[in-house]
């Protein structure tokens, strides 16, 4: 019924619904202030979408960036966001976020086990816009020893199966991926990879279901959970909130169903909704996603238990979803990796599509997007062009050097991926075209046209490699354009990708303190929302790495502080 807890009872100062980054930030913040806190999670697993994410946070002007000598200020960040968001720019919440985010991160790191380090080469995704950063606003979670969680380790939501190597070893995007990419060429990288694998197998031999070295989103959630565990905060799993209590205009409690009983819980200072959005709610997606309403869907990576519970609870109090912005969700292309017993697992493609020697084509064999732009832009282009399935095309040199999707670089064999049909191969482009049922003449013409420009370092069709972000996603050792290389070396390979979401952007209308606003724009006393339960700060755009988790931590922190300061 519940993860380990040292406290019991039904009387609390603050109740947090959801155990992702936003909810745990609010819980840790309130706990550090001396409040009595309860965390409620509907699933059997803790961590929500945050646990399976990359774990990066976007926190401009952090103490980490200042220590690194990076010069930045709120006016510069605002200039970037105004240029990108246009009419969707939310001045009040943006100012609140930029003011609070550095302090929230610093206080959470000082009072808890949370630790982040700078990603100095992580440029903002629209790096050609005024105010964009060349690096220093995004931070990566520091790996964490999951053994510190004790029995709670078994309740931490594991990463996506296809994101683990050798059946259970977590890979840190910042620290490990560069070594794994170079393991076939660098003895130092090969040693790093071997050490990772040896540690993972030691964990398995010791009886753990997977490696205990937590990375990315697992490290973020593991560190916050360990802080709550050490402070004796109750964290209930398999517990569903069925209603909120309103007394004299103030949310003061909630009903919680656990198996065959319902508990009435008091929340003197309020309730924080952080249930993760509605990626798992098909009726809501039909209502708010144009392509779903038209009859075709996409793959959702968040847990299926993310069914919009926060929106449902708030709607009963007169607070509707705020249907605004350019996109209802954060997008990423996914490939479908065959698993055992006929199952498939969606594999998200974040950076591989932008490596030199790889292009994307539609069903007609033609390019439709700048492959080096962000994953969000890539899928937005698919949806705008009604491309239900695209193909990533690579030559032999590119796939052996960079890998593709779940396919690892050399020296990992390709045979298993080819036999399963995940990866298709042709000795010539015409043979590959026949395998993927694309017109061979068009594919050959597309590649020939691309290759002519790529040899010069130029993409006349989509300007690939012109922006700093494009080049950072490529290979800095490849010239004259880090993002471009011709497809010349046979055999050639194809991998199918389809639209996927990594979380919803539509959410509840909230103010600068994360208070939920009713249909008239007035705050509902004692009710807060953060993370994907709140409408995205960025109006359906994806400015940079970590733009979901950065605001999640910040507005969770703001919600807890405001709730504890308010008079019930």
DSSP letters for 111-179: HSS--EEE-TT---TTTTSTT--SSSSEEEEPPEEGGGGGGGGGGBPPPPGGGSBTTTB---TTTTHHH
* CA nearest neighbour of 533 among 562, 499, 506: 506
Are residues 288 and 271 both part of a single domain?
A: yes
Same-domain check for residues 134 and 202: yes
Interval 135-161 mean pLDDT: 92
**Overall average pLDDT of the 362-389 stretch:** 97
User: Same structural domain for residues 362 and 376?
Assistant: yes
- My answer on whether 101 and 205 are in the same domain is yes
Say if residue 54 is in the same domain as residue 172.
yes
- Which residue reads 């209802």 in tokens? 328
The whole-angstrom separation of Cα 510 and Cα 526 is 12
Q: Which of 446, 474, 499 is the last residue of a domain?
A: 499
Residue 119 corresponds to which tokens in the numbers above? 């990603």
Residues 214 and 305 reside in one and the same domain: no
Percent of the chain with pLDDT over 90: 85
pLDDT tens, position by position, 175-187: 666 756 666 677 7
Our count of domains for the chain comes to 3
Q: Are residues 314 and 336 in the same domain?
A: no
pLDDT confidence of 555, banded at 50, 70, 90? very high
Of 174, 189, 219, the position where a domain reaches its end is 219
335 and 310 both lie in a single domain: no
Measured CA to CA, the distance from residue 564 to residue 553 in angstroms comes to 17
In a domain, 13, yes or no: no
**What are the tens digits of pLDDT across the range 195-218?**
766 666 676 667 667 778 899 999
Spatial distance between the Cα atoms of 385 and 334, rounded to a whole number of angstroms? 17
Q: Which domain holds residue 182?
A: 49-219
pLDDT at 216: 93
- CATH number at 191 reads 3.50.50.60
* 255 and 215, same domain (yes or no): no
pTM of the model: 0.93
What pLDDT is stored for residue 78 in this prediction? Answer: 98
Q: Is the predicted pLDDT of residue 5 greater than 60, yes or no?
A: no
Does one domain contain both 339 and 482? yes
User: Would 178 be classed as within a structural domain?
Assistant: yes
282 falls within a domain: yes
Is residue 26 situated within a structural domain? no
CATH code of 419's domain: 3.90.700.10
Per-residue model confidence (pLDDT) at position 200: 63
- Residue 30 near residue 38 (C-beta atoms within 8 A): no
In whole angstroms, what is the distance from residue 273 CA to residue 276 CA?
A: 9
Q: Are 307 and 277 within 8 A, CB to CB?
A: no
Residues 189, 302 share a domain = no
Q: DSSP secondary structure string, 325-384?
A: SS-SEEEEEEEEEE-GGG-EEEEE-SSGGGSTTEEEE-TTS---S-TTS-HHHHHHHHHH
Residues 146 and 113 placed together within one structural domain of the fold: yes
Closest listed residue to residue 378, CA positions, set 332, 410, 422, 429: 332
Distances (CA, A) of 44 to 11, 48, 235, 305: 23, 10, 11, 10
- Tell me, what's the pLDDT at 259? 87
pLDDT at 239: 97
Q: Does 24 reside within a domain?
A: no
Q: Is 552 domain-assigned?
A: yes
Mean per-residue pLDDT, 92-99: 98
Choose the final residue of a domain: 499, 532, 552.
499
Q: Is residue 226 part of a domain?
A: no
Query: Once rounded to an integer, what is the mean pLDDT over residues 422-436?
Result: 98
In a domain, 23, yes or no: no
Say what percent of the chain tops pLDDT 70. 91
What mean pLDDT value characterizes the chain? 92
Q: Where are the alpha helices (DSSP H) in 56-116?
A: 63-67, 74-85, 91-111
């Amino acid at each position: 019924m519940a993860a380990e807890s040292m406290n019991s009872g039904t009387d609390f100062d603050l109740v947090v619904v959801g155990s992702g980054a936003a909810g745990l930030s609010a819980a840790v913040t309130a706990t550090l202030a001396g409040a009595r806190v309860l965390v409620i999670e509907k699933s059997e697993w803790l961590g929500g979408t945050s646990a399976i994410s990359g774990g990066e946070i976007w926190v401009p002007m952090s103490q980490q960036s200042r220590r690194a000598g990076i010069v930045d200020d709120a006016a510069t960040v605002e200039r970037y966001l105004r240029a990108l968001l246009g009419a969707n720019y939310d001045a009040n919440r943006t100012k609140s976020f930029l003011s609070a985010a550095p302090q929230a991160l610093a206080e959470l790191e000082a009072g808890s086990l949370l630790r982040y380090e700078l990603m100095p080469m992580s440029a903002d995704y629209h790096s050609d816009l005024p105010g964009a950063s060349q690096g220093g606003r995004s931070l990566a979670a520091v790996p964490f020893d999951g053994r510190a969680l004790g029995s709670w380790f078994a309740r931490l939501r594991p990463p996506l199966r296809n994101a683990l190597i050798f059946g259970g070893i977590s890979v840190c995007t910042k620290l490990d991926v560069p070594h794994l990419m170079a393991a076939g060429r660098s003895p130092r990288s090969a040693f790093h990879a071997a050490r990772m694998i040896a540690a993972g197998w030691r964990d398995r031999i010791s009886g753990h279901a997977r490696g205990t070295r937590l990375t990315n989103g697992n490290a973020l959630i593991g560190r916050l959970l360990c802080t709550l565990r050490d402070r004796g905060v109750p964290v209930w799993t398999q517990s569903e909130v069925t209603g909120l209590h309103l007394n004299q205009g103030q949310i003061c409690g909630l009903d919680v169903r656990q198996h065959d009983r319902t508990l009435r819980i008091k929340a003197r200072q309020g309730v924080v909704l952080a249930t993760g959005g509605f990626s798992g709610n098909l009726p809501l997606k039909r209502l708010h996603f144009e392509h779903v309403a038209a009859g075709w869907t996409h793959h959702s990576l968040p847990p299926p238990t993310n069914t919009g519970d926060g929106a449902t609870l708030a709607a009963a109090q007169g607070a509707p979803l705020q249907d605004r912005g350019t996109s209802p969700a954060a997008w990423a292309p996914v490939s479908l990796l065959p698993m055992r017993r006929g199952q498939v697992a969606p594999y998200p493609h974040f950076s591989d599509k932008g490596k030199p020697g790889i292009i994307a084509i539609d069903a007609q064999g033609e390019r439709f997007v700048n492959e080096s732009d962000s994953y969000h832009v890539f899928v937005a282009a698919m949806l705008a062009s009604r491309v239900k399935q695209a193909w990533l095309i690579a030559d032999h040199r590119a796939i052996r050097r960079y890998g593709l999707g779940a396919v690892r670089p050399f020296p990992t064999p390709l045979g298993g991926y080819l036999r399963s049909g995940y990866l298709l191969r042709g000795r010539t482009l015409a043979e590959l075209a026949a395998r993927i049922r694309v017109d061979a003449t068009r594919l050959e013409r597309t590649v020939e046209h691309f290759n002519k420009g790529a040899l010069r370092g130029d993409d006349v069709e989509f300007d690939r490699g012109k922006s700093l972000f494009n080049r950072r996603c490529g290979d800095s050792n490849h010239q004259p354009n880090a993002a471009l290389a011709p497809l010349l070396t046979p055999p050639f390979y194809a991998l199918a990708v389809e639209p996927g979401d990594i979380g919803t952007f539509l959410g509840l209308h909230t103010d600068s303190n994360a208070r939920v606003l009713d249909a008239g724009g007035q705050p509902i006393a004692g009710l807060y929302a953060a993370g994907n339960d709140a409408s995205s700060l960025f109006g359906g755009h994806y400015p940079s790495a970590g733009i979901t988790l950065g605001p999640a931590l910040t507005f969770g922190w703001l919600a807890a502080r405001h709730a504890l300061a308010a008079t019930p």
